[in-house]
Amino acid sequence: MTFRRVVLWSLSTLLLLVVGSLLLGMFLGQPILLSFVETGSMEPTINAGDGFVAIPSAIAGDIGHGDVVIFEATDGALTTHRVVGETDRGYITQGDANPFTDQDAGEPVVQDAQIVAKAGTLGGSIITIPHLGTAVHGMQDSVSWVQRTLFMTFGIGWFLGAEGLLLLIFLLTVIAYAIDVLVSDPRSSKRKRTTTRSSGMSVRVILIGFALIVMIAATAAMVVPADNHEFGIVSAEFESERPNVIQAGHSDDIQMPVSNTAGWIPVHSYLEPASGGVDVDPRYVYVDARGEEEVTLTFTAPDETGYYPMYVTEHRYLAILPKSVTDTLYGAHEWLPLIVINLILGGSVYGAGRLIVGDPSKRLRSRTKRKRRTGSTWLIRILP
Per-residue pLDDT tens digits of the chain, which is 384 residues long: 577 767 766 766 666 666 666 666 655 566 777 888 888 999 999 999 898 988 888 888 889 999 999 998 888 788 999 999 998 888 999 999 999 999 998 888 999 888 988 998 888 889 888 888 777 777 667 767 776 777 677 666 655 655 565 556 666 666 665 666 566 555 544 444 444 445 555 677 777 777 887 887 788 788 877 778 889 899 999 888 888 899 999 999 999 999 987 778 899 999 999 888 999 999 999 999 889 999 999 999 999 998 888 999 999 999 999 999 999 999 999 989 999 999 999 999 888 888 877 665 555 455 555 545 544 444 444 444
18, 46: one domain = yes
61, 203: one domain = no
Final residue of a domain: which of 133, 150, 181? 133
Q: State which amino acid sits at residue 226.
A: A
Residue 383 lies in a domain: no
User: Domain total for the chain?
Assistant: 3
For residue 282, is the peptide bond before it cis, meaning its omega torsion is within 30 degrees of 0? yes
Contacts for 32 with CB less than 8 Å, ≥ 6 apart: 21, 22, 24, 25, 54, 56
Final residue of a domain: which of 85, 114, 133? 133
Residue 103 lies in a domain: yes
Whole-number Cα distances in Å, 369 to 36, 185, 303, 377: 55, 21, 84, 13
77, 35: one domain = yes
Measure CA 57 to chain center. Answer: 13
Residue 21's Cβ-count burial label (10 Å; 0-12, 13-18, 19+) is middle
167, 47: one domain = no
CATH of the domain at 289: 2.60.40.10
217, 351: one domain = yes
295, 237: one domain = yes
67, 11: one domain = yes
The answer to whether the beta carbons of residues 68 and 42 sit under 8 Å apart is yes
CATH of the domain at 121: 2.10.109.10
Which residue range forms the structural domain that includes residue 197?
A: 160-222+347-370
Determine phi and psi for 233, rounding to 5 degrees.
Answer: -105, 130
Residue 380 lies in a domain: no
Provide the 10 A C-beta neighbour count for residue 359. 13
